[in-house]
Amino acid sequence: MTMAPKNNRKSGHFNPFLLIRLFGVILFIYILSLIDLHELWENIRNIKTEFLLYGLAFQFILLIVKGFRWHILNNGSKYSQDIVRSMGEFLESYAIGVITPGRLGELMKAGHAKEKNRVMETGIRIIIESGIDVGVFVIVAGTASVIAYAHLIPASVSYLILIAGIVIFFFSIFLMRSSALTRLAQKLLNNIPFLKHSFQLNFRPIKSGIMISIVLLSIISNLSAFLSCYMLAIGLNFDLSFLFVSGGIAIAGLLNMLPITVMGLGTREGTFLLLFKPMAEPLILAFSGLVFLVAQVGGGLMSLILGQLLLLSVREKKRSD
């Protein structure tokens, strides 16, 4: 008697992980249902124009600085076309990363590497780059927890967050000079049977001067991110310090990395409502909406357009040559 093969993909089968991915969107809809939308819109409409432009300007600075950091992190050459190409590749991946949960779209940077070995080497550099940024955000979140949010977060938790950020930051810097990780990755890859490829990962340790430049560019780019959002807060007449606002941005940004939301919807609003009390809720959500429009939508569009223009100029240059 012959039995029909089982179909593991049951039609109509409910996937519980879908709710996890949509948690932020569901939370966002719920929060909006409790808010006076007319008052929310009035707060957004009344933002001071010059501070809105300052917010966009700092987003542009962030993109340029991070693009150049990616170039020198990969031991980029000093030729203008190479700089333009690597910055274009970075900005293209950044744009996709903005709209993907956990910024997974930034892994596209590895896709620009033509050889398998280069893909893996680029992957290691993505870890270094992201680790530095995450470290900065955790340090800011921890510092704000110790100083600004002491009434909300226990001191033991705040100091633990701060120490974790310092560890992540310096560990990422250490990886720039370490060949041990490359040797370990090469050994693991070559022992995977189905890859059927002998990897030779020639990780080039980054020189001290370049390493210092990367750290400085990281500080500038992340400072630009916080300043961009702080300009929006000033434009809405927030009576909060730079550290207070930046701490909220850092915590919301870290939550945005979890695959529970799309573009920070819901988790960002929930974080701000919790941390920025007792300010009026429509004003808090107006700030959150502007952060979404400027940092997420605005930053994503700027990086997409600029990235495509830079890559197009490289292709045109090749044709003319």
Q: What is the pTM of this model?
A: 0.82
C-alpha distances in Å from residue 223, one per residue of 118, 218, 311:
31, 8, 27
Q: What is the pLDDT of residue 282?
A: 92
Domain-located, residue 238? yes
- Of 292, 281, 288, nearest to 39 by C-alpha is 281
Domain-located, residue 182? yes
pLDDT in tens, the chain (321 residues): 344 444 444 445 555 656 666 777 788 888 888 888 888 899 999 999 999 999 999 999 999 999 999 988 876 778 888 889 889 988 888 888 776 655 555 656 655 555 444 666 676 777 788 889 999 999 999 999 999 999 889 999 999 999 999 999 998 888 777 777 667 666 766 776 655 556 565 566 778 888 899 999 999 999 999 999 999 999 999 989 999 999 999 999 888 877 777 777 888 999 999 999 888 899 999 999 999 999 989 998 999 999 999 989 988 877 776
Angle (CA) 18 22 25, round 5°: 165
- What's the CA gap between 53 and 58, in Å, rounded? 9
DSSP string, 282-321: HHHHHHHHHHIIIIIIIHHHHHHHHHHHHHHHHHHHHHH-
Domain-located, residue 301? yes
Domain-located, residue 105? no
Domain-located, residue 34? no
Q: What is the pLDDT of residue 64?
A: 95
Question: Domain span at residue 58?
Answer: 40-98+114-320
- Of 130, 191, 136, nearest to 162 by C-alpha is 136
Domain-located, residue 14? no
Tallying the residues shown for the chain, one arrives at 321
Residue with the two structure tokens 């190409």: 85
Domain-located, residue 7? no
- What's the CA gap between 56 and 294, in Å, rounded? 6
Beta-strand runs (E) in 64-130:
none
Q: What is the pLDDT of residue 73?
A: 86
Q: How many domains does the chain have?
A: 1
Q: What is the pLDDT of residue 132?
A: 93
CB neighbourhood size of 48 (10 A)? 14
- Of 219, 218, 242, nearest to 230 by C-alpha is 242
Domain-located, residue 315? yes
